[in-house]
């Protein structure tokens, strides 16, 4: 039993380190590519291009590497190659604000305002009122298209939003969506049901195999439905398992049965963390395709 507790403790630490990171894939990529980003921001375009070109060869699906290689191409006066790189980045992650913003700016430079407007509309939607850049450049696109009223509206909103962000700097870093939302609430109800099922199986199973199987299946579902918030659901399920077992059920009459139920309970709790990590990993992998 002590061995299981030790494994559970270190498994929990590993779980939090690798799974409870709520950053998006693009944010993690940007952190991993910080060295190259710094080269680009310091004006070392040739070195930055070589860096991102190398990283793309190592990891061909890195949308942030494509973004910055495209920006380097733009600085090196290769607009067509820059557009191709930005579009390649979008093919791997179409939820990155900067990709749409830079694509729109590139199209404006190429005198293609209609194409720019499509990209900048998406940039405005993804910015969710945390940046004025999308409104600024979309106003330019409207101007090039002769849609002066819409250009004026975006320009006015840019000024208004800039004042809001200056008066409340934290707004520019606000989460795009609340952590506790309707989907999470529904999944919490699911956790209550699966926890009750697990307690029932633990109390009635003749071996550890069935409780472990149910625990793995339930935990994979946790990770799959909540690839970034599953850590909370996993903790909730473990708490409900322990609470339901110790407070709502009667202890078995013999020592052998007690040991079987203990192994089933603690093993199921360990598997909840491990399998929810696996489910989240699988879901994120599918999303990256």
Q: Using CA atoms, how far apart are residues 88 and 157, in angstroms rounded to an integer?
A: 31
Give the list of residues 6+ apart from residue 143 with CB closer than 8 angstroms, or none. Answer: 151
In which residue ranges of the chain is CATH 1.25.40.10 found? 25-173
Q: pTM of the prediction?
A: 0.57
108-143 as b/e: b if 16+ CB within 10 A: beeebbebbbbbbebbbebbeebbbbbbbbbbbbbb
**pLDDT value for 113:** 96
Helices (H) and strands (E) in the chain, counts: 14, 0
**pLDDT value for 173:** 47
**pLDDT value for 71:** 97
pLDDT per residue, tens digit, the chain (289 aa), is 434 444 544 454 454 445 445 567 787 888 889 999 999 999 999 999 999 999 999 999 899 999 999 999 999 999 999 999 999 999 999 889 999 999 999 999 999 999 999 999 999 999 888 889 999 999 999 999 999 999 999 999 999 999 988 887 655 444 445 567 677 888 898 899 999 999 999 999 999 888 998 888 888 888 877 877 888 899 999 999 999 999 999 989 889 999 999 999 999 999 898 888 877 776 666 554 4
**pLDDT value for 178:** 59
Instruction: Return the DSSP state at 250.
Output: P
Specify the CATH superfamily of domain 25-173. Answer: Tetratricopeptide repeat domain (1.25.40.10)
**pLDDT value for 220:** 85
């Amino acid at each position: 039993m002590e061995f299981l507790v030790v494994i559970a403790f270190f498994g929990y630490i590993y779980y939090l380190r690798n799974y409870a990171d709520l950053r998006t894939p693009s944010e993690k990529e940007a952190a991993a590519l910080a060295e190259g980003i710094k080269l680009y921001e310091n004006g070392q375009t040739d070195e930055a291009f070589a860096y991102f070109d190398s990283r793309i060869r190592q990891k061909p699906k890195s949308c942030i590497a494509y973004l910055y290689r495209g920006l380097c191409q733009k600085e090196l006066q290769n607009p067509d190659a820059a557009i191709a790189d930005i579009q390649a980045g979008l093919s791997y992650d179409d939820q990155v604000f900067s990709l749409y913003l830079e694509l729109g700016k590139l199209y404006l430079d190429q005198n293609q305002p209609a194409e720019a407007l499509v990209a900048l509309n998406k940039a405005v939607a993804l910015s969710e009122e945390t940046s004025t850049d999308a409104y600024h450049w979309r106003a330019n696109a409207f101007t090039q298209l002769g849609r002066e009223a819409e250009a004026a509206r975006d320009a006015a909103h840019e000024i208004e939003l800039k004042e809001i962000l200056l008066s409340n700097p934290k707004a520019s870093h606000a989460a795009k969506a609340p952590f506790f939302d309707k989907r999470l609430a529904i999944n919490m109800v699911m956790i209550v049901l699966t926890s009750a099922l697990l307690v029932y199986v633990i109390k009635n199973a003749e071996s550890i195999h069935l409780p472990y199987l149910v625990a793995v299946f339930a935990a994979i579902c946790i990770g799959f439905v909540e690839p970034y918030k599953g850590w909370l659901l996993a903790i909730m399920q473990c708490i409900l398992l322990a609470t339901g077992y110790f407070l709502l059920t009667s202890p078995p009459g013999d020592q052998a049965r007690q040991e079987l139920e203990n192994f089933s309970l603690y093993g199921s709790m360990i598997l909840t963390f491990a399998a929810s990590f696996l489910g989240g990993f699988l879901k994120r992998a599918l999303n990256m395709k």
